[in-house]
Structure 1
Amino acid sequence: MPRSEEAEQWANAVYSAIQEIPHGKVTSYGHIALLLGEPQRPRQVGVCLKSLPDADSGHHYTNDTVPWQRVVNSKGMISHRGPGSAQRQAEVLRSEGVEVKGDSMGEFYIDFSTVGWFPAELPSEAE
């Protein structure tokens, strides 16, 4: 089902904001929502990432142009979106030099105190 114009604008804002997260840094869904002026919408940030188009889709924002791997939940945990998705995200983050720890339950965590990215505003808005 196609997105409404409002939903498309929101998704584009989410994708654009995520593109500003520096290599090797990680933030939360909630912080992206806060930076976009909608602190009550962290789940919608996750929905946007879950529906991020594939690279060969012809869209401007894709899973190759948006560093989706740099967004995790507020506990620093990688959310499961499907079989193997958390493992894949952990591997991509590790390839960026981010330390990702796993536990015995198959959960993956990052330490926000070392790799967290929580600016008061988006760098593009500070200019």
Structure 2
Amino acid sequence: MSIRAFHQNLLRKVRQESGNVESSLVLIPLVFLFLISVELIVATNLRNSDFALAQSDASSRAISGVVTSSDQVIELSSPDSFTHMKLLITRRKHSLPQLVPGLVALLGGNAVVEVNGAAVMENLN
């Protein structure tokens, strides 16, 4: 087999592989888009679960009267002298996993979910 025949055979095989190159050029942005959408879904689900946990903590602490240092108690004024209400605010902070490295830095934010829970404190007397 001559060098010219080998060269033509190689060019013919490379021309037949053009579909694979186009497929790989489409596949890279598609995987990137998929990872971004999965990261958004994970962030939304973690925020919702953290909100439910913060609300549950606020409710149980308001009923039991146990207040931690990170909680905030707000006194609510009422025209009725017998009604003295307090509102308990709990805070919860959770970091998010990063599936696409550098995406959060590119958007200029933090990968943190911060939620608040609120409940009316019960009078224990």
- Quickly name the TM-score band, shorter chain normalised: under 0.3
TM-score normalised by the chain length of structure 1: 0.26
More helix by share: 2
TM-score normalised by the chain length of structure 2: 0.26
Instruction: Choose 1 or 2 for highest CA Rg.
Output: 2
More strand by share: 2
